[in-house]
Amino acid sequence: MVSIPAELPAYLDQNADRFLSELKDLLRIPSVSTLPAHRPDMERAHAFLAEQMRAMGMENIQRLLPKERPQGEPLLYADWLHAPGAPTLLFYGHYDVQPPDPLSEWLTPPFEPTVRDGNLYARGASDDKGQVFAQVKAVQAWMQTSGRLPVNVKFLLEGEEEVGGEGVELYVRQHHDALACDCAVVSDTAFFAPGLPSLDVGLRGMVYAEIEVQGPSRDLHSGMYGGVAPNPFEALARIIVGLKSVEGKILIPGFYDHVQPPNAAELEAWKRLPFDENAYREQELGSAALTGEQQYSVLERTWARPTLEVHGMPGGFTGPGSKTVIPAHASAKISMRLVPDQRP
């Protein structure tokens, strides 16, 4: 039985302000993996975390890129393997973030961390830099107060999670022996409720796609061509409406083939959770109503049912003022969350 070092709680208290300051430094780096203009920022975030690994006593610190993706974002690997006979933990996380748009929705700048009412607000604070930093500082605190770790530790941090994680998938397939472990710890999820952490045993997968509709060969003036020129946005709207019923059922043929429902034990465990649907709707979503397949509970819909969502519809004129154009093309960005055994 491993005991927590007696000095560890005091060490955490004494260094809490420093840890928060360092986390803010990481959050200030706009490591947006979806935008090529932020490639230098991706390198900065990688270097920042590599230095954290060195400072805490990790070894074999490596900047990794699968040979098939030389232009991808680098992985960061580090380990400490001096606990013979003890289990090996592999910590996984990611240092890239999504774009902060729309900026008008932010109360404070997304890359200037701000504490309000005891909460830290910044892009990446909860997905996933905050969790990664908690892992790093937990290991560091144990090392500093005990001089060694009770288990072997490996870190694998990626910079492409927000764009599909192709690089980490390639690396794991090619170097699974180097990543051998007894337990992989992924902290890219959330507490179920304040003071109630969750132990997640699985997440839905995802397919991301873009629907493109081509209309006329160029943008046209609606005063001259309206009524005869095909409008790609109208066609796109019909396509999108046809993907899902008003009851939330996805209408793509074969979409639900092989979808496995949660078992009785899972459903019973979920029922025991302290979940208030009205509070969830009002406080978490800020919505007047909940949508989706009403024959399933909210937790079933968010944890065990596949979904299809529309994220954006680029095309045409969207700037301030007016421009009565019939666009040449329109597109929609969509994603589908998938459950085990589903092969859409």
Contact 315, 233 (CB under 8 A): yes
- Rounded to 10 degrees, the C-alpha dihedral 337/339/341/343 comes to -10
Cα(309)–Cα(293) distance, integer angstroms: 14
DSSP string over 42-55: HHHHHHHHHHHHHH
CA-nearest of 158, 32, 44 to 91 is 158
8 Å CB contact between 196 and 276: no
Burial 88-103 (b: 16+ CB within 10 A, else e): bbbbbbbbbbeebeee
* Pair 175, 110: CB distance under 8 Å: no
Strand boundaries in 58-111, DSSP class E:
59-64, 75-80, 88-94
Q: How far apart are CA 279 and CA 282, in angstroms?
A: 5
What is the set of active-site residues? 96, 161
